[in-house]
Structure 1
Amino acid sequence: MRIPTPHPRRTSIEHDLTRLADGTLDASKRQRVERLVVTSSELQARLYEQRRALAATRTVAQRERAPLPLRLRRPAVAPR
C-alpha cells in the first residue's frame, strides 16, 4: 500500500500560513502570502484556523505549567 505524500506546494503554503499566523514569516515572503490569502477564501479560512489554534495554545500555555522535571530539562522559551 502506498502512503500518499503531501503536494510540495500545499506543504509550503501551510508552512507559510503557520508562520504568518504566529508572526515569524520573513518580510520578503509576507506580502506575497498576504496577497494570496486576500484572493482565496480557502486560504483565509485556513489562516483563521491557524490563528485560532495559536490563540488556544497560548491560552493553555499561560494557564498550565509543565511538570517540574520537564521545566528543569528545557531552557525557558520567550513568548513571541
Structure 2
Amino acid sequence: MATGTRLVERETLRTESGRDIAVVRYGPGALSPGPARIVLDTACLPYDRIELWAVLTPAEARRLAAVLVAQADAADQDTAFCRETVS
C-alpha cells in the first residue's frame, strides 16, 4: 500500500445488533505528526443516548481483533517505510 498523509485502508464490520464499526488506517502524518494511526469509528444510532457502545459476539470480537492486528502490522510497515525514505 502507498503511504502518505491520507486514508490508506478502511474495513467495516457489521455486528448482529446492526452497528457498523469501521477500522480505518491513516498513513504517517495524516492525523498528527508521527506514525500511521488506526481509528475505530462508529456512528450514533437512534437508540443511543448518553453513551456509545457496541455489543459483540465472541466471533465478532475475534474478527475485530484480527482486523486491528492486521492494520497495526500494516501501520508499522507504513511508518518504517516512511522513516527509511526520509533517512
TM-score, length-normalised on structure 1? 0.45
Higher strand share: 2
TM-score by length of 2: 0.42
More helix by share: 1
